[in-house]
Amino acid sequence: MRLLIIGAVAAGTSAAAKARRNNEENQIVIYEKGEYISYAGCGMAYYIAGDVASGNSIHPRNVKYFKDTYNVDIKLGHEVVKIIPENQTIIVKDLASGIEFVDRYDKLIIATGARALIPPVPGVNKEHVFPLRNVNDMYKITSFLEEKKPVNAVVVGGGFIGLEMTESLVKLGLNVSIVEMKDQIATNLDVDMAKLVELELLKENVNVYKGLAAAEIHDHSVTLNNGETILGDIVIMSAGVRPNSEIAVEAGIKTGKFRGILVNDKLETNLPNIYAAGDVSEQYHLLLKDYAYLPMGSTANKQGRVAGDQATGGNLIFKGVFGTSVYRVFNQTVAQTGLNEASALAAGYEPVTIFNIKPNKVTYLGGKDMTIKAVADKKSGKILGAQIVGPEGVDRRIDVLATAIYFGATASDLVDLDLAYSPPYSTVRDPVNYTGMIISNILNKDTPQVSSKEVLEKIKKGEPLTIIDTRPAILYGADHIEGAISIPLTDLRKKAPTLPTDRPIYLYCSRGLDGYVGQKILLNLGFSNVYNVRGGYLGYLIENDF
């Protein structure tokens, strides 16, 4: 059998390796129009920052390695310009000579990836404007930084790549401005959690421009669509990516609403003997029950393995994704899995949303607060998603929560998880356990919770209510929610008889736990209509402007 693969980065090389492990006799050829293969795209920003000593660490494998190890022939500088499914052939162009030739396949895997989305902004083709999508881009940016020594940088786009490049450029000593069309940076998060990321950027003196776009790029500045001009001797375009699906479309292969190739769980397209994997395809979202476009290196590698297996008679399947991600923004780790509050609402769920602010380990060994925002389905109690921002321990917790979501865990399941504990690594109840406890209490209608936004809206409407700040008086004196009265938790039982019983009572503390304890005290004393403000005062700051 002759297996042809178009593209030699994550999905293509993973497919080839798996196909060879399945069968030693098949002919396997990969056509790649670029000069680098199987590279670690997610590490490129760190190479630019100087965190990676050698570029070879980003692209350690070459054509010889794949020939010697897997007996796979990789043809660099060869672009597949046409797929002819009727006779199972492709037309290939040798980019060095310009000569085109025909090759035939028994099975074909399309792994053409995606390209940087470059908005049609005047000046976008200037020599100081770069995307960051491949190794060539990485080296071009590094060379420009070394030779031209720019002082000011503009990063267009506030997603993963934009935030990683912002950190890298600041580390190199540049003054950086980041521009995002949406009303928030960290666009995979809810608005309130994205504010924590923005706060970290501001701490590092990054200029953040939200709800704005680049209107024109000049030699040393960028004009925004509100008329403002910001300094930029180098401009990084990180406005997203688009699937390289054009030759597939021309061949009659179906694509979805994101222009990615549609595949089933075997990575088969709608045409016989043709598969697709990686960033060129759309992925089935396990929670949305629909196709999404979540281009990730980890997903591409997994899909490539399945495509290579299926193309050589295997039975592996790719079940789908729900978009787990993690990245670093200076001193904070940002992670997300599943649905956020906004996407859960849009998908028709009735979400229960909580803030859980807990240290990653015991405070006497330097534990630092993580902010967890978790979403569960009110009807089933199943966990739908989580977002975490914090300096330490975030990656571990997001992986636990992603695993729980994958296996359909409920909030009560999180409470019962037998997670490892030792003071250098966790608190005696892990933040994941606490997350399950908070959601379970709400689902059981034992301790109803409200957002600070709901409370502020009631204040604006003039509704009769009582807001109690259970923090120590000194913290109340420094700042508090509008209209709140100070009753420290230790005084609540004594002051309870003085509280009105004809109106709802809202309690909050620093992070949510003491507010919950105070809520239970009042409920046990016979009060009704008592609510805990989710996330406490820190939750109030997150949900509103800092």
The catalytic site residues sit at 42
Q: Any idea which residue has 């001797």 for tokens?
A: 233
**Number of C-beta neighbours around residue 308 at 10 A:** 32
Residue 185, Cβ density class (10 Å: 0-12 exposed, 13-18 middle, ≥19 buried): buried
Rounded Cα gap, residues 496 and 256, in angstroms: 59
Contact (CB, 8 A) for 356 and 389: no
Phi and psi of 285, rounded to 5°?
-90, 120
CA proximity to 42, closest of 386, 300, 305, 286: 300
Inter-CA distances, 538 with 309, 353, 467, 481, Å: 49, 15, 16, 11
Rounded Cα gap, residues 370 and 386, in angstroms: 12
Give me the amino acid identity at 206: V
β-strands 383-390, 332-338 pairing? antiparallel
CA proximity to 185, closest of 170, 165, 215: 165
Give me the amino acid identity at 407: F
**Number of C-beta neighbours around residue 515 at 10 A:** 29
Please state at what angle helix 191-203 crosses helix 536-543, rounded to 10 degrees: 90
Residues contacting 391, CB < 8 A, separation 6+: 331, 332, 333, 360, 368, 370
Phi and psi of 240, rounded to 5°?
115, 180
SS3 sequence of 73-130: EEEECEEEEEEECCCCEEEEEECCCCCEEEEECCEEEECCCEEECCCCCCCCCCCCEE
DSSP H helices in 251-351: 297-311, 341-346
